[in-house]
Structure 1
Amino acid sequence: MENINSKVSFIVPIFNVASYLEAALDSLIYQTYDNFEVIMVDDGSTDISGFIAKSFSATDSRFKYYRTENKGQSHARNIGLTKATGKFIAFFDPDDSLEKNFLEKLVLQMNENIMIVSYLFPSAKLGKCNRKITVDDFFSKMFSGTIGTVVWNKLFRKEILKNVKFPEGQVHEEINFYRQLLSVVHDYQILIINDNKEYNYRVDRPGNTTSTFDPKQIIGAKDAQKLVGDLRKSGKKKSIPVVQLNTLIFLKIYLQRSIDNDYKEDAKNMFNSLYLETDKLKCFLIDPFMTVSVVKFKLGLEK
């Protein structure tokens, strides 16, 4: 196959993950597909993460170490994109680990017409087979949780990321990242692999964006609202209610978790505005339980 010997660039942002980093990087070494480089970007760690990363670069030429001042995960990923020399790009979080066939399965599906290959999200149910999908389906499956809006379970052709950057200084930056891809990826250039066991995702590390509440997460909801407008302009109608329902659920949880912060009133206004423009019947057909929970929450806000 055309891509069987093509180089893959793993981009690994690192910040104070000494307890997990060695095992994470070891899982890259043992990949059955070995034509890759690992761009390790140390985002100003204050523990021994840098020492661990440099020990890998000293013994394996595929591992490349860079250090920057602490500016966040997006900044580190953007540096990685500028350093990457591979034909394909994979993103890897330094507290996770990979099964040995993770990369090989992705590369084998990346033929000349495919721009993105994705595994299912680890908690998603298996389907029937691998299949190519439309851009509309891609956004539906991301926001429904089938493949997730994360970047670490996907392989990207580098050429489509040429003008794409992660927004710096915010959390849930992936939504903005995917908004930028909307104009450069076309129907059936995306393939879903019917497998959810190749990436081992750690959900319980203190300080990660899953386990930590950050008021600035509201920016991700704003990006989702902008994405709805983008999808509407490009005629991607199927995914719009999926994105809207996902965002309403996020805002509901955000408002339930936040006490008083500078963003709470903004979040409430966003929820009310999005609720009014969302087709609740379409949302109910997508996920009855979640739609009912959103409606009940809305009624509670009005009391």
Structure 2
Amino acid sequence: MQKGRVSVVVPIYKVEKYIHRCIESILNQTYFNLEIILVDDGSPDNCGAIAESYKKTDPRIKVIHKENGGLSDARNHGMKRATGEFTMFVDSDDWLENNMIERLVKCSLAYQADVVQSAFYYAHDDKLLLDNRYHNKNDTPTKLDNRKLMYELVINERVKNFAWGKLYKTKLINDIPFQKGVLFEDVFWAHQVMHRVENFVLLHKPLYYYYQRDDSIVAAYTPRNLDIIKGLKERHRFIEEFHQGLTDESYKAILKMSFIHYNLLLFNRKKDKNGLHKKEIQSYITENYYKLRRAVMDDKTLRKQLYIFSLHPYLNVLFPGVRKVMRMARILPKPVGLKQEVSSE
């Protein structure tokens, strides 16, 4: 591995509209010792040609052309070519602050961190949103040991399951491939990586722009989205084996996601023939009801939702609406939202 070099893996598929912004944000980094691996995942537009044109302008760029195999497969191909001491993943419709990589490398060296994660913006076309519930931009970096890290990963608040937005020591991840053929592949992958981490550091300055497209989740929904529940269940088995103290938190994560997807399936009845996917969710909750009830005893909202679901699953769809009305009537407090900032675009 090249000491100090950062391998930046960018999977590319049907992002002709956004790819220039992404690549140029990497090329313009204040940290120069980069290996930029652009993986054209059989993109049917001009992305492959665009990648090749950038390769001609900068010797740090490598381009891989391959048959379409999905995001996981593209990342895996990029990882195989990585020669840097560090690795980053950047999604091709996202972009970086120009000093992001420099700050992450400095932080990794200063704290002897295996992984460094920066804060990020939810970047819409007309606004930037920042989650500042836990930290302010200028707060001192937060260091987590493995026990705290795994807890934070499972609850998915400060430490996100996303592969992007983090700087990894390459030796930590180069033998853990992403699972092919699934959506939400990061959920299947992240816990395996974080299980190995001794020192994890959170930078609170937002340095990554996570682009939010305008697609409606209800309109674009397919049963493949249920892969996220499959990933959480797979992670749960891992948690039971290696981090038993987090079992209840893991059950909560599965339950929350199950409620969300049950509602989405109700709104997309035509995509759930004979209601098989709804039945699968209901069966899991019924079969594990007592374990789930024990897990949510300290969570009043989730406990109520589980009880309502047990009366009849269709009542679950009313729960978010009732809570919204109660907030409007000031019976319940408003949820803490994201802070809006001026867009950089």
Both structures adopt the same fold (TM-score exceeding 0.5): yes
Q: Secondary structure at the match of 1:6?
A: strand
Asked if the contact 2:86/2:167 (under 8 Å) is kept, the reply is yes
* Counterpart position of 1:192: 202
Q: Given the two structures, how large is their TM-score scaled by the length of structure 1?
A: 0.86
**Equivalences for 1:126-145 in 2 at 5 Å?**
126-127=134-135, 128-142=139-153, 143-145=155-157
**Equivalences for 1:1-303 in 2 at 5 Å?**
6-111=4-109, 113-120=112-119, 122=121, 123-125=130-132, 126-127=134-135, 128-142=139-153, 143-186=155-198, 189-195=199-205, 197-204=206-213, 206=215, 212-235=220-243, 237=245, 239-258=246-265, 259=269, 260-261=272-273, 263-278=277-292, 283=296, 285=298, 288-290=300-302, 292-301=304-313
Identity between Structure 1 and Structure 2 (%): 25
Asked if the contact 1:12/1:77 (under 8 Å) is kept, the reply is yes
Q: How many residue pairs align between the two structures?
A: 293
Asked if the contact 2:29/2:99 (under 8 Å) is kept, the reply is yes
Asked if the contact 1:245/1:291 (under 8 Å) is kept, the reply is no
Cα RMSD over matched residues? 2.7
Q: CA offset at residue 253 of structure 1? A: 1.4
Q: Deviations over 1:135-158 (max 9, x none)?
A: 232233233322321011111100
CA distance in 1, matches of 2:99, 2:52: 25
Name the structure with the higher strand share.
Answer: 2
Q: 1:294 to 1:146 in 2, by over 3 A?
A: farther
Letter in 2 for 1:115: D
Q: CA offset at residue 270 of structure 1? A: 2.6
Most deviating of 245-254 and 141-150: 141-150
What residue ranges of structure 2 are gaps of 5+ in the alignment? 122-129, 316-345
CA distance in 1, matches of 2:20, 2:251: 39
Q: 1:217 to 1:273 in 2, by over 3 A?
A: farther
Q: Given the two structures, how large is their TM-score scaled by the length of structure 2?
A: 0.76
What residue ranges of structure 1 are gaps of 5+ in the alignment? none
Letter in 2 for 1:37: E
Q: Deviations over 1:164-219 (max 9, x none)?
A: 00000000111221232254323xx1111122x21111121559x99942312323
Asked if the contact 2:218/2:264 (under 8 Å) is kept, the reply is no
Answer with 1 or 2: which has the greater Rg. 2
CA distance in 2, matches of 1:211, 1:79: 32
Q: CA offset at residue 18 of structure 1? A: 0.3
Letter in 2 for 1:140: Y
